[in-house]
């Protein structure tokens, strides 16, 4: 929470984000863990994460009552159309970095960003791969996605064998959004796309924590090609991030994750020890989407 005697500096704008990813990539877990923000590190630049409204506050209940109880969240129901899904809005308060926000830093004021996210069910990505047989439901989601200002693509970092499938879906998504936005070149240029690889606590990802570009180049080359093409066609901004909703545990860090299933589609499981639950890297992509700047303190 923030102090009434020294209120934070609210950064302008409220980014309207759509979260897209395959089923099991951790989209709802990402939002719930961010809203709950358990075991906050007092040395972290992240001072607080607060729900903006009651609907967003429900995320905390999901994290506390289901995830922290060692259970999985149910998958997102596609609903009747995109408008039937909630938009979650969070207020994230940060200690300013002098290089990024010199005035706030010199005045010893925190900064605050407001982000609004609507998470799409994993079936949408699957439908995008088979766009020739698209349904009215998919078109509803595409129309809604075209109203957003940014895209958060969540991909299970252990699912690199599905690289080409994801790339095909993203290429079709780009084409569909281009059809809807082609006359608004300003919006195309201002669009921001954050590609976030989840479950980075897993052993096969941890060696790449400080070299995400090499990771993408080796593990997801098809996705990288499509994202690069997207950036060139639109003139927009793209970036890559790692995150872990459950984090690590122990002095010699190990995944705070109990694996139930592991296959070519990814790694599925639940939190192992809720008492030491501390998410990693969740704020970094949202800060970049909001400001267009990177803050190395927020990265893993």
- Residue 297 forms part of a structural domain: no
pLDDT tens-digit map of 265-283: 899 999 999 999 999 999 9
- Residue 34 forms part of a structural domain: yes
In this predicted structure, the answer to whether residue 1 has a pLDDT above a threshold of 60 is: no
The set of residues, in sequence order, having a beta carbon less than 8 Å from that of 145 and lying 6+ positions away, is: 18, 20, 82, 120, 151, 173, 177
CATH code at 232?
3.40.50.300
The whole-model pTM stands at 0.95
- Residue 211 forms part of a structural domain: yes
Provide the β-strand partners of residue 195: 153, 240
Query: How many domains would you assign to the chain?
Result: 1
- Which residue has 């803050």 as its token pair? 295
Helix (H) / strand (E) element for 18: namely strand 9-20
Domain range for residue 112? 9-292
Assign 192 a pLDDT band (cuts: 50, 70, 90). Answer: very high
In this predicted structure, the answer to whether residue 168 has a pLDDT above a threshold of 80 is: yes
- Residue 277 forms part of a structural domain: yes
Specify burial of residue 37 (Cβ count, 10 A radius: 0-12, 13-18, 19+): buried
The set of residues, in sequence order, having a beta carbon less than 8 Å from that of 224 and lying 6+ positions away, is: 216, 217
What percent of the chain clears pLDDT 90, i.e. is strictly above it?
83
Specify burial of residue 87 (Cβ count, 10 A radius: 0-12, 13-18, 19+): middle
pLDDT tens-digit map of 83-133: 999 999 999 999 999 889 998 998 999 999 999 999 999 999 989 998 876
- Residue 3 forms part of a structural domain: no
- Residue 1 forms part of a structural domain: no
d(C-alpha 121, C-alpha 56), whole Å? 17
In this predicted structure, the answer to whether residue 3 has a pLDDT above a threshold of 70 is: no
- Residue 2 forms part of a structural domain: no
- Residue 237 forms part of a structural domain: yes
């Amino acid at each position: 929470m923030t102090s009434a005697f020294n209120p934070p500096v609210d950064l302008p704008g409220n980014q309207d984000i759509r979260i897209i990813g395959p089923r099991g990539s951790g989209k709802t877990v990402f939002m719930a863990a961010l809203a709950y923000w358990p075991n906050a590190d007092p040395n972290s630049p992240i001072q607080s994460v607060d729900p903006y409204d009651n609907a967003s506050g429900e995320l905390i209940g999901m994290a506390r009552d289901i995830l922290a109880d060692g259970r999985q969240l149910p998958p997102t129901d596609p609903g009747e159309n995109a408008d039937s899904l909630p938009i979650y809005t969070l207020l994230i308060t940060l200690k300013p970095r002098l290089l990024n926000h010199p005035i706030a830093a010199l005045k010893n004021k925190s900064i605050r960003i407001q982000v609004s996210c609507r998470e799409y069910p994993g079936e949408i990505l699957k439908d995008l791969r088979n766009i020739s047989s698209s349904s009215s439901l998919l078109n509803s989601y595409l129309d809604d996605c075209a109203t957003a200002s940014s895209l958060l693509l969540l991909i299970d970092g252990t699912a690199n064998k599905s690289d080409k499938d994801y790339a095909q879906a993203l290429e079709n998504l780009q084409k569909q959004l281009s059809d809807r936005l082609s006359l608004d070149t300003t919006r195309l240029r201002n669009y921001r796309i954050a590609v976030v690889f989840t479950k980075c606590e897993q052993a096969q990802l941890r060696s790449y924590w400080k070299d995400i570009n090499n990771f993408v180049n080796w593990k997801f080359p098809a996705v990288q090609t499509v994202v690069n093409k997207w950036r060139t066609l639109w003139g927009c901004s793209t970036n890559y991030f790692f995150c872990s909703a459950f984090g690590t545990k122990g002095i010699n860090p190990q995944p705070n994750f109990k694996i139930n299933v592991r296959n070519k589609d990814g790694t599925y499981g639940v939190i192992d020890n809720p008492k030491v639950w501390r998410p990693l890297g969740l704020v970094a992509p949202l800060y970049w989407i909001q400001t267009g700047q990177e803050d190395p303190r927020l990265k893993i």
